[in-house]
Amino acid sequence: MPIDRKLLETHDTIFALATGALPCAVAIVRVSGPSAFEIARKHFRGGGNWEPQRAMAYGSYVSSTGEELDRILLLSFVAPHSFTGEHVIEIQCHGSIAVVSAIEQTLVEHGCRAAQAGEFSYRAFQNGKLGATDLENLGDLFKARDTADLGRLQARKDAALQVEIHAVREELIRLQAILDTAVDFSDEYGNVVEAARLPMAQSAERCAAIAARYELFRQGAQSPRLVLTGCPNAGKSSLFNALLCRYRAIVHETAGTTRDAIEEDLELEGRRWKLVDTAGLREGESLMERQGIEQSYDFLSAASFWVLVVDGTRGFTESERDLLARFGGKPHLIVWNKKDLPGFLPPPELDDTVVAVSALGGLGLEELGQILKTRIRQLGSATGVLPSQTQASRLRVSASLLSDLQSDLDRGVPPEVLGEKNRAILRSLDSVVGDVGVEEVLDRVFAEFCIGK
Amino acid sequence: MSESKKSSIEFSQNSALESERLFHVKQYDVIIIGGGHAGIEASLSCARMGLQTALLTLDPSKIGEMSCNPSIGGVGKGQLVKELDALGGEMGRTADATGIQFKRLNTRKGSAVQSSRCQSDKKQYALKMQSVVGGQERLSVLSCEVKEIRTKAGAVESVVIESGGVRETLETRAVVVTAGTFMRSLMHCGEVKGEGGRFGEKSSVGLSDSLRDLGFAVQRLKTGTPPRLIAESIDFSKMEIQEGDVPPRRFSFWDTRIELPQVPCYLTYSNTRVHGAIRENLSRSPLYSGQIQGIGPRYCPSIEDKVVKFPQKERHPLFFEPEALDSNWIYPNGISTSLPADVQEAFVRAIPGCAEVKFARYGYAVEYDCIDPRGLSKSFESLQVRGLFTAGQVNGTSGYEEAAAQGLFAGINAALFAKGEAPFLLSRAESYLGVLIDDLTHHGVTEPYRMFTSRAEFRLSLREDNADLRLSPYARALGLLSDADFERFQARQERIDRSKQILAKKILKPTPQIDAILASLGSNPLSQPQFLAQVLKRPEVGLSDLFSMLPDPFPVELDADTAETLEIEVKYEGYIELQREQIERLRKLVGTRIPETLDFRKVAGLSFELRDKLTKLRPGSLADASAIPGVTPAALTAVLFHIRQKEGASA
Ligand SMILES: Cc1cc2nc3c(=O)[nH]c(=O)nc-3n(C[C@H](O)[C@H](O)[C@H](O)COP(=O)(O)OP(=O)(O)OC[C@H]3O[C@@H](n4cnc5c(N)ncnc54)[C@H](O)[C@@H]3O)c2cc1C
Ligand SMILES: Nc1nc2c(ncn2[C@@H]2O[C@H](COP(=O)(O)OP(=O)(O)OP(=O)(O)O)[C@@H](O)[C@H]2O)c(=O)[nH]1
Ligand SMILES: [Mg+2]
């Protein structure tokens, strides 16, 4: 797109993590721009009313609903006496992902935006704050940018992740195409804006899922996850135990035995994996059952590889098909269990790999192990996990903005305004999904809608 | 040149004719090639800016001809017409004078992307334009074909024209080429093809070679038009009637009137029988047989394209539009085609209401040469030849409005060039015209370029209703706005400013009546006194609703257009404010020119990749540089820094 939005937006408030990768001991979130002080006034508690004149203050950082998120040290610099020449605050907090992302979330709620590489310096320069001697430092900025690029390259090599990122990108372009059609071709497609609901919801969900996996990945010992799922009584726990070669999960003929997911380390192809046993997918009515299923979805979102365990004496169920439709895009295979039983149905012919086993009797487990290993080797270094915290945080923020967009649509906000908001989301995601230009959106408009009276 | 020869190349309506005959003037300040929508605006603006101007065109009786649909405006295009009007152009006034149905699009309450459209009496439209052109001082119209543009030392010197087999040279300081769809044009109707730029008109041969010789890259594009049908042979009772808006809203900001009677259009749909007839004969379509090489616009597909690309669609809407009040020709919008005549007859007869239809003319496609607009500067001057400007369809666009807007812009710049003054530039932050200029010169075209609002990132600010507020001061400075029009503009601006102040300061106190009105609008009661602007910001409340709550009449008298501006500006204040800041920034960036001598390889802090890229693309300003993919704020800082350092050193 031929305009410099990066610079155009130099009047808004930006933030960035000024310290290295999380988790770490202390993290610094730097905020620069007109709303920096407003943020401090709203979110800082400690020692009476906060005013920018208090250059350094110790207290709590609270969320918009007033809960304490962390104890922090708050530094403030009044314009023009700051690095950027704008109002600046620095929030020194604990370097945990949860704390930093919660703080970032509050910043976004104030309309702040994650800074691009070099943006702080750019502002400094614009405001006459960068002298000749600082020129040297610009070199460092490029280094910083290179690391970001490395991250992107890394992500590009990860096939599983690419599939999902591509899906998000497609969804967002489609959304933009619908919103633009609603404006530019309103005489031909009067009510098309309603069609925006689905891509809004789906892209929000996908963004959230990728970001959630990042979180899980960070919190866990950074191992990729292999998730077992399927209907109650399919034999997930039995397979779990068989793969671990020990009796870890309770196996019982009562459907719904496993309530909470359990995970154990598993060495596969020279790599440590987390093997996860989940609650059965039941079209349950009770809240608890429903939560169990929701949780399985979360686990699948965060999985690098998943195995659908099917009771081979019963065949596919509705919810298993749903699951394949939903998560079929990521590496998985199907285990057709209970081969030892008389009522065992022949495994179906599918594009997916289907392995017939008996988890209890030990039949076919050898073969399953081999197939798993090959499949995992094919994944290469792929983990389905984003390489950087910034990217995860942009996705998380986008997910929440996309949900806002849905309520805007309900409130009857016109498509031209929704379009501007979605464009802003696309821009903020360009480091993750890549630049999306007007032409690409138009391509989609013409491919999808028969334009031209 | 003999006396009789001379008169044959002059347009009889022209008032400049006398001086021409007496003094044998062969020298002009500016020459415009082409009397289409671009050429008209270009020649009028030059002449109005005080320059001796010649408009050279193949057939003066076709000046202002609407080659295709008999309508002006539409989403994105209406905005261009308003901008053109605000800049002193002619299209908006003529559209008002000759419109026979007006319709506003996107009129949801307080919408920022409202667009105007009208059906025109195309005969009246062309006649009106011809009389304006003919009556314009300092403007001569010559009927001839321009064969070549000659240069001397990298600047335009003269044009070679041919008329009645005789060649002649006309000297000039600047040229604006607006040759439309005529350069090496080829028309297709099924297997039949023939040279010509428009039905019944010849093609222009030689001009595109000349442009190529002068350094332009030339490419081939295509467009098409539907057949024209005879009204009496159509059963309109089988169609849905579509009336225009009552009352109709004008295009022009100035003193115009809609006086022609307003007439309806008709809506019908194609069906599977129509599609079947087309599908069976696809092999005879020049589009699918490979006979047509040029690339056509995807937003204006032929009916055969629609049928092929959207096989699942069982019907497509078709709008039957009258071409003129005193004509029985109907323009069936939606069936542009280049299928053979017999196939056209077969499929059109399958359209409801068309069983007995008679054809006035068959549809056809036209392929033509145009230049790669990346060879133009931001003033539409050739990067190779000084004084050579191009505008309209030759620049790779399509549409009357796009053409006219460019024509005005190129005309202004040709005039400024001839006067030795600095060019007039428009940024994409302040106008759709600026978006168009930017897009064309940066990215070139792969299909005929049409305006969409989605191309304008500041579309909430670049509205039809405020085009005059954005642009008319420029027109005044350029000498394109009369005293009377300027006074009108100032008065409007004042009304808006004053009204805004009142809305921001005046307080509405809660009363049961007000709460009742609010309730009827589905809005919450006023819990405490509020500023009028705050109340108007509620999505459910319109300006007229707000006025109905006031105890006294609103002190400023507001016409519909001004009320609209006011309502939108208040409702979208947040966005508009943000965009205004962004626009300010952009203006600064555009203002920061990158010296042509700057060696990007010497800029410290740039990656090698970027150094290469910038060296190759040579952006002229920081704004241009920022448009290049991969150019980060840090890179811009480095460039800016380098420029400042150099300036410091040389100062
Ligand atoms: C068949 C057809 C279908 C079209 N369909 C559409 C459509 O569906 N939608 C749409 O938006 N637009 C359509 N258009 C395009 C629309 O007509 C043009 O965009 C618009 O008219 C362009 O204006 P212009 O001033 O650039 O050129 P034109 O209106 O084409 O005018 C060009 C002028 O230049 C003159 N000229 C050319 N060469 C020379 C020369 N060497 N010497 C002297 N004079 C010369 C010609 O006589 C003519 O007066 C169509 C055009 C045609 C012909
Ligand atoms: N015959 C036979 N029975 C099996 C096999 N695998 C599991 N079962 C039986 O099926 C029942 C359910 O096994 P689990 O492993 O608890 O099943 P699950 O999928 O974890 O079930 P939930 O946790 O309830 O969702 C138990 O009674 C197992 O003994 C198998 O391969 N052969
Ligand atoms: Mg279990």
ipTM field: 0.81
Contacts of A180 in chain B (CB under 8 A): 452-454
Distance CA A67, CA A146 (A): 38
Does residue B59 contact residue B180 with C-beta atoms inside 8 Å? no
Smallest CA–CA distance from A436 into chain B, residue:
B629
Q: How far apart are CA A340 and CA A351, in angstroms?
A: 24
Q: What is the pLDDT of residue B170?
A: 95
**Ligand 2 centre and the CA of A252: distance in Å?**
6
Do B199 and B361 touch, CB atoms closer than 8 A? yes
Percent of residues, chain B, with pLDDT higher than 90: 70
pLDDT of residue A323: 86
Of A9, A132, A145, which is closest to B582 when you measure between CB atoms? A9
Two tokens at B48? 């109005």
Q: How far apart are CA A233 and CA A239, in angstroms?
A: 11
Facing residue for A187 by CB, picked from B105, B112, B300: B105
Task: Compute the average pLDDT of residues B589-608.
Answer: 78
Triad A419, A423, A426: Cα angle to 5°: 140
Minimal-distance CA residue to ligand 1 atom 7:
B68
Residues 11-30 of A with CB under 8 A from B: 11-12
Dig out the tokens for B310 from the structure.
């959207």
Nearest CB among B113, B455, B539 relative to A416 is that of B113
| The predicted structure's pLDDT at residue B538 | 86
Closest residue by CA, ligand 1 atom 10: B399
pLDDT 10s digits, B48-94: 999 999 999 999 999 999 999 999 999 999 999 999 999 999 999 99
Q: Cα–Cα distance between B439 and B443 in angstroms, integer? A: 6
Q: Looking at the complex, report in whole angstroms how far the Cα of residue B602 sits from the nearest Cα belonging to chain A.
A: 13
May I ask the CATH architecture of the domain B1-453? Answer: 3-Layer(bba) Sandwich (3.50)
Task: Find all residues with CB under 8 Å of B492, minimum gap 6, and list them.
Answer: B253, B468, B562
Contacts of B89 by beta carbon, 8 Å cutoff, 6+ apart: B41, B44, B45, B404, B405, B408
Please tell me the predicted confidence (pLDDT) of residue B455: 92
Domain boundaries, chain B: 1-453, 483-575, 592-650
Is B280's Cβ below 8 Å from some Cβ in A? no
User: Which distant-in-sequence residues (6+ apart) come within 8 Å of A370 by Cβ?
Assistant: none
Contact A183, A419 (CB under 8 A): yes
Would you tell me which residues 26-85 of chain B have a C-beta closer than 8 angstroms to some C-beta of chain A?
74-76
**Percent of chain B scoring above 70 in pLDDT:** 92
Neighbours of B358 (CB within 10 A): 13
Residues 6+ apart with CB under 8 A from A86: A32, A33, A34, A36, A79, A80, A123, A127
Torsions phi, psi for B223 (to 5 deg): -145, 170
Q: Are A293 and A282 in contact (CB under 8 A)?
A: yes
Cβ-Cβ contacts under 8 Å between A and B: the total is 165
State the Cα–Cα distance between residues A336 and A309, nearest whole angstrom: 6
Which residues lie below 8 Å from residue A126, measured CB to CB, with a gap of 6+? Answer: A10, A85
Mapping DSSP to helix (H, G, I), strand (E, B) and coil, where does residue A57 land? strand
> The tokens 């910034």 sit on which residue?
A390
Closest C-alpha to A118, from A141, A92, A151, A95 = A141
Phi, psi (degrees; rounded to nearest 5) at A169 = -60, -45
Binned at pLDDT 50, 70 and 90, residue B110 comes out as: low
pLDDT value of position B418 = 97
Contact B310 A450 (CB under 8 A): yes
Which chain B residues are within 8 Å of A435, Cβ to Cβ?
629
Q: How far is B70 from chain A (nearest CA, A)?
A: 13
List beta partners, residue A89. Answer: A31, A76
**What is d(CA B138, CA B25) in angstroms, rounded to the nearest whole number?**
12
Alpha carbon distance A417, B576 (integer Å): 11
Reported as a pLDDT band with limits 50, 70 and 90, residue B17 is very low
Q: What is the mean pLDDT of chain B?
A: 89
Pocket of ligand 2 (CB under 6 A): A 230, 232-238, 251-253, 255-258, 280, 337-338, 340-341, 358-361
A chain contacts of residue B442, beta-carbon cutoff 8 Å? 2
Please tell me if residue A294 touches chain B, with a CB cutoff of 8 Å: no
Q: Which two tokens stand for residue B108?
A: 């949801």
- Return the residue of B nearest to A179 by Cα: B454
Give the C-alpha separation, B187 to B361, whole Å.
14
- Of A156, A151, A153, A195, which is closest to residue A177 (Cα–Cα)? A195
CATH number of the structural domain B483-575 = 1.10.10.1800
Chain B hits for A451, Cβ within 8 Å: 298-299, 301
Q: How confident is the model at residue B14 (pLDDT cuts 50, 70, 90)?
A: very low
A176 CA to centre of own chain: 20
Question: What is the bridge-based pairing of β-strands A332-337 and A271-277?
Answer: unpaired
**Which residue does chain A place closest to B315, by CA atoms?**
A450
**Is the pLDDT at B162 greater than 90, yes or no?**
yes
- Assigned token pair, A214: 């990042």
Chain B residues 453-492 with a CB less than 8 Å from chain A: 453-455, 457, 459-460
What distance in Å separates the CA atoms of residue B409 and residue B391, rounded to the nearest whole number? 8
Report the distance separating Cα A120 and Cα A30, nearest Å: 10
A181-195, B213-227, B513-527: range with highest mean pLDDT:
B213-227
Q: Which ligand is nearest to the CA of A312?
A: 2
Which one of A121, A184, A414 has the shortest CB-CB distance to B634? A121
Partner residue opposite B112 with nearest CB, options A188, A416, A453: A416
**What pLDDT shows up at residue A272?**
67
pLDDT tens for each residue of B276-303: 999 999 999 888 888 888 888 888 889 9
Question: Which pLDDT score is estimated for B634?
Answer: 66
Query: Is the bond preceding residue B247 a cis peptide, omega within 30 degrees?
Result: yes
Residue B153, chain A, CB below 8 Å: the answer is: no
Tokens in use for A199? 């891509």
Query: Residue B135 — φ and ψ, nearest 5°?
Result: -90, 0
Assigned superfamily of B592-650: GidA associated domain, C-terminal subdomain (1.10.150.570)
Tokens of A326: 């939903």
Alpha carbons B145 and A76: distance in angstroms, whole number: 72
Average pLDDT rounded to a whole number, residues B498-526:
92
Give contacts of A139 with chain B, Cβ < 8 Å.
604-605
Select the more confidently predicted residue: A52 or B20.
A52
A452·B306 Cβ contact <8 A:
yes
Query: What distance in angstroms lies between residue B285's CA and the mean position of ligand 1's atoms?
Result: 23
B624-645 pLDDT, tens per residue? 787 676 676 667 777 877 887 7
Question: CB–CB of A72/A31 below 8 Å?
Answer: no
User: In angstroms, what separates the C-alpha of B28 from chain A's closest C-alpha?
Assistant: 37
CA distances from B439 to B194, B396, B462, B463 (A): 33, 11, 16, 19
Report DSSP letters for A382-393, one per residue: --S--S-HHHHH
Pair of tokens at residue B112: 């920022």
- Res. B36 pLDDT band, cuts 50 70 90: very high
Of A132, A187, A416, the CB nearest to B111: A416
CB of A407 within 8 Å of a chain B CB? The answer is no
What single-letter DSSP state applies at residue A70? E
- Which residues neighbour B177 within 8 Å (Cβ) at sequence distance 6 or greater? B33, B34, B149, B207, B211, B388, B389, B390, B391, B394
CA distance B19 to B21: 5
Instruction: For residue B585, name the pLDDT band (cuts at 50, 70, 90).
Output: low
Question: Which atom of ligand 1 is closest in space to residue B59's alpha carbon?
Answer: 47
CA-based nearest residue to A182, from A426, A418, A378 = A418
Which residues in A lie closer than 8 A to residue B334 (C-beta atoms)? 452-453
Rounded to 5 degrees, φ, ψ at A306 are -140, 155
B318 interfacial to chain A (CB closer than 8 Å) = yes
Contacts of A52 (CB under 8 A, 6+ apart): A37, A40, A76, A78, A87
Using alpha carbons, list the distances in angstroms from residue B640 to A83, B72, B246, B622.
Answer: 18, 44, 54, 8
Pair B266, B319: CB distance under 8 Å: yes
How many angstroms separate the CA of residue A80 from the nearest CA in chain B? 19
When scoring B71, B452, B463, B583 by the number of chain A Cβ atoms within 10 A, the one with the most, hence best to mutate, is B452
User: What pLDDT, on a 0 to 100 scale, did the predictor assign at position B220?
Assistant: 94
Tell me which of A237, A309, A341 to substitute to probe ligand 2's pocket, judged by most ligand atoms within 8 Å of the beta carbon.
A237
Interchain CB distance below 8 Å, B633 and A118: yes
pLDDT given at position A188: 82
What residues of chain A score a pLDDT lower than 50? Answer: 1-8, 132-133, 135-153, 220-221, 381-382
The label of the residue with tokens 């309770």 reads A250
Check: CB of residue A14 under 8 Å from CB of residue A451. no
